[in-house]
Structure formats: C-alpha cells, structure tokens
Structure 1
C-alpha cells in the first residue's frame, strides 16, 4: 500500500493542473518528486532551498497576491522551526495556506530528535483560526488534501504519517465518526491510531469515535456520545499526550466528567529504534492501550470479563 506522502505528490500535482490559484512551496525536501509538476508550472512550484523561515514567508507572500499555497516539509521544519513566520506572516497578516507535513511524531527515528515533532498540533493550538487534519489512511489523506486546498483562504495543517490504518473511512473534514457504540465511556481515536484503539477496546462496552479533523474539535459529537455512553472520555492522539484534553473538557463543561489523554510522552527517547518500538515505548500499541483504557473507563474491565 502506498503511504500518505506517496499520495500527496500526485494529488497536489493534479490540483496544480486544475486550479491556477494553487502554488507549491518547498524547502528542498520533496523537490525531486515535484520535478514534473515544476516543468509544467515553473512559476507555481517554488523551492526556496534549506530556508524554512523563508518557506513560510514566501507562502504568505503568494497568499497576499491571491494564490493558494501548499507548503511542504518535515513537521519539525514546517511548524517548529519557522513558528514565528507561521504566527506573523500567516496569522498576523490574516492570510491562509495549506501546511502539509511529513515525518509526524517519530516516523523517521534514524533522523533523531531534530526530525521529530510530537508537539506540532499543541504548538498550533496557541494560534487562532487553524484547521488541523490528521488522516489515518492514504485515501483519507487525499480527501482531506483536496478539502484543504478548496477551503477558501483558510489556514490549514495536514499532518501526514507513514503510520496507517488498514482501511480508509469516508471523512468530510469536519465531523468525528462513530465506529463503535457502547455505554460505559467514550474513546476518541485520532488518525492512524484507530486500528490499535479498535483492537484495544474489543469486548469493552465503550463508544469509539474516529477523528481525522481535530481542529475545530467536534464538541457536538463528543457530547452526543458522552450522553449515551457516560462521561469517562479517553483521547488517544498520535502526537503529544493531552493535546486535546482542554477541548474535551470544554465540550463537557456543564456535566461531570473525567478525561484521560494518551499520546506521545514528553520524555525524549534517545535511541533510534524502529517506529513500532517508539509506538510501544509511548504506550500506543494495542496491548498497552487496552490496559490503560480498561483501567480508566467505568465498567470497562467488568464488561471485558463478561
């Protein structure tokens, strides 16, 4: 199966052909993949070199002149390194772009901590007006990329990962999907952690919501699910643990509730290892998730034993 990033290049290349407003801005990474698109559209595929601040600044300049820029590099170089430009050149000037990241939290362990960005969504949360898509499958990545580019002049972040669920689901760029129903609590699975969450909650009497658009946070879906399934909520996110706990607490602010945020821990893992080893070390494998979810959600353990 192809990866989300494999799908990214042909999708955006087609969008360049279809929409004269679309421009692509790169900082070396991904340049070879867009070589053919650059030959067809030399004025709308721009490589600024290894200059990530300029990457975002140039995108903002294009947006100011009416283009819809799609900006791509590793998450650590797209959100963290040029954060001032994201904040000022896009946010303060009130112009939009589609930031499309690769490498996610720890997709390339051999790259070391410089190429990891588990705090990217939390960092964008400090800014106003961002839509954040976290696809869990290449089909979803394609749908959300098209949705992001078509979203007027909004500020959109699309977080691509090599981690993927076994199959894609129909996503609309707005709402959470209910993929399992129960009565003892709610588990929100974000993007590529869905398969692990479904395996972890097999036999547990819980509702599972699937989230591929996490900002804006679908408070209405969580409220509906919590009303039917109790008010124990577990958030399982493929980035910094607890990133969405405030959003969940706000959604349920008028009812008694408990929220557990699971995700990538703050402690830096200094051995490269493999992606699967990082998943397990952060407790995001199915076995670890089952233990933590069942130990938190009311009635979960009892339901699992029946």
Structure 2
C-alpha cells in the first residue's frame, strides 16, 4: 500500500450526532486513502456496510473479540496501514487494556482508537457497557492524544488529523453534544470572569454554560484534553480557583492542573462521574442528575466551591 491518498479529501457530510459523523468521516477516509482501515467488533458494523462492500479488505469485523480487535489494529499498523479501531469505550479501552498498553503503547505504533457511548450513554447496557474510567486509564501511558469532541464537526476534524498526522490517539464519542462546534486548537475561551476559571470538557459545555449564566467566571472549552493546554489556562487565570467539568471520572485531570499551576497557590475542584457502581439504569439524563452533571448539579458544586474563595 502507498501512503498517498487516492483522491483529494473533501469536506464530510454533516451528521446529526457524533456516532453518525464517525461513520461518515471514516467511510470517506477509507474511500480516499488506500492505507486507512477500520477494525470493528460487531459494534457499528451494519453502518459500515456500504463502504465494506466497496473495500472489504479494509473494513474488518473480528466479531465479539475485543482483545483481537486491538491486536488486529496493531498488526495493520505494523504492516504500514493507518488503523482506526472502534467499539464501546468500555471494550476498546478497558476490556482490551493489555493490548492497548502493549500492542500499541509498548511497540510504539500509530493508530486511532474510537470509543463510543462514553460514561453511561447506554444505561440499559449496565455497568459492562459504561466507561467512566477510560481517560484515567490512558493517563497511565505516555504519548496518547485524547480527544473528547462535543460536536460532529469537531469529531470530523479530530479524526482526520489523527489519521493523517500519525501518533496514538483516542477519540471519546458519547455523553451528548453541544449545539455549536469550536474548531480552534487548545483551550478555547468562551467567556471571561473574575471569580474563577471553569474548564468544560467536550459535551459538558452547554450544561456548564447554563449552570453559570449569571456567575462572574471564566469558561474555557476543551475538546482535546491530552496534551493539556496549560499555557492558555495560565494566561487566562484571573483568580486561583480552577474547576474542571469532565464527562468521565471526577478528578481525572487533577494531576494536570496541579502540574500546570505547581508554582502558583491555587484551589481546584473536579466535577464529573462519582461512584460508577450506583447500580442504576434509567436514561442518560437520570445519570447526569445522579452524578451532578446536569446544570443544577454543576451549579450546586460550583457555588459550594466558590463560597470558600
């Protein structure tokens, strides 16, 4: 296989949600770049049917074998291809963790892992299908770029850049989305204030903005969380109060904040998924309320934190 795209890339069709956009963008990459392949483990296989009929050698469904899923992707990378490896985040990161760590990380191979359904985007699947700890796990490895898109246009951009730019990337798809995209690199300033800085990650932005509409705070938006854009955080820091609103385990980015602000006295709060073993089903909105990730819950946590500033 060559490394040159067969035809010039074109803008992807806009999708209504992140998972549909993943299929659209990946299908176009397969059609336009003969080195791109996607590896699936039944999840989303039906949606890839049209492009699989055109390029069956580069749309590979290994069945319900998630360890093989990741190892097959690493094998394609060893053969010089650009693999996109996809399943539920709970399967592609947690269930196949040893293969992620060794087959991609230890062998220093390039590839893109795409985990769907976020922390609890399909509550009916139960705890086996939930992955609030995926980003925290990847934080134990080196040299992974982690994207948490909050809009289909962001996912399209991140996936294209990840495939063409090389390196190891994880794209976390799930937990709702924001009404508008923000396509700038790094932390994006949304509004400025004096009492503290809130970093809203991916699909938490619209809920965070609703929660702080009348508060005098800075809001920064992050759709890429690793590497962490510490320079923008420091440049925009008006008060030594930092709040991370993340759609995964609360406190996942605490070490990043501490590292970036190590020479500055500061306080920080992590708002995110609390106890992941609540033994609850319901709908995603119910889990937002349970973990304080709905606008009301976010506001309560912020008010309590700022009371002591």
Residue by residue over 1:107-150, the C-alpha shift from the partner in whole angstroms, topping out at 9 and shown as x without a partner, is 00000000000000000101111000000111211111112112
In structure 1, the residue matched to 2:273 is 264
In structure 2, the residue matched to 1:303 is none
Q: 2:234 aligns with which of 223, 231, 242?
A: 223
1:213 matches 2:224: yes
Q: After alignment, is 124-133 or 290-299 more displaced?
A: 290-299
| Shift of residue 225, structure 1, vs aligned partner | 1.6
| Shift of residue 39, structure 1, vs aligned partner | 1.3
Q: 1:292 aligns with which of 301, 305, 308?
A: 301
Distance of 1:236 and 1:176 partners within structure 2? 13
| Secondary structure of the corresponding residue to residue 5 of structure 1 | helix
Corresponding pairs, count: 295
Question: Cα distance 1:144–1:90, how it changes in 2: closer, same or farther (>3 A)?
Answer: same
Distance of 2:184 and 2:125 partners within structure 1? 31
| Shift of residue 202, structure 1, vs aligned partner | 1.1
Matches within 5 A, 1:114-193: 114-152=128-166, 154-172=167-185, 175-193=186-204
| Shift of residue 32, structure 1, vs aligned partner | 1.0
Distance of 1:91 and 1:53 partners within structure 2? 14
TM-score under structure 1 length normalisation:
0.94
Residue by residue over 1:184-205, the C-alpha shift from the partner in whole angstroms, topping out at 9 and shown as x without a partner, is 1100000000011111111211
1:21 matches 2:35: yes
Distance of 1:298 and 1:108 partners within structure 2? 35
| Shift of residue 299, structure 1, vs aligned partner | 8.4
Distance of 1:284 and 1:221 partners within structure 2? 25
In structure 1, the residue matched to 2:25 is 11
The answer to whether the 8 A contact 2:146-2:170 is kept is: yes
Distance of 2:16 and 2:174 partners within structure 1? 11
Distance of 1:32 and 1:211 partners within structure 2? 32
In structure 2, the residue matched to 1:90 is 104
Distance of 2:19 and 2:175 partners within structure 1? 8
| Secondary structure of the corresponding residue to residue 105 of structure 1 | coil
The answer to whether the 8 A contact 2:111-2:169 is kept is: yes
Structure 1, unaligned stretches of length 5 or more? 301-306
In structure 2, the residue matched to 1:30 is 44
The answer to whether the 8 A contact 1:184-1:206 is kept is: yes
The answer to whether the 8 A contact 1:143-1:171 is kept is: no
Residue by residue over 1:50-104, the C-alpha shift from the partner in whole angstroms, topping out at 9 and shown as x without a partner, is 1100100010010011111001100000000010000000011110110011110
Distance of 2:27 and 2:202 partners within structure 1? 24
Name segments (4+ residues, structure 1) moved above 3 Å: none
Distance of 1:297 and 1:100 partners within structure 2? 36
The answer to whether the 8 A contact 2:175-2:284 is kept is: no
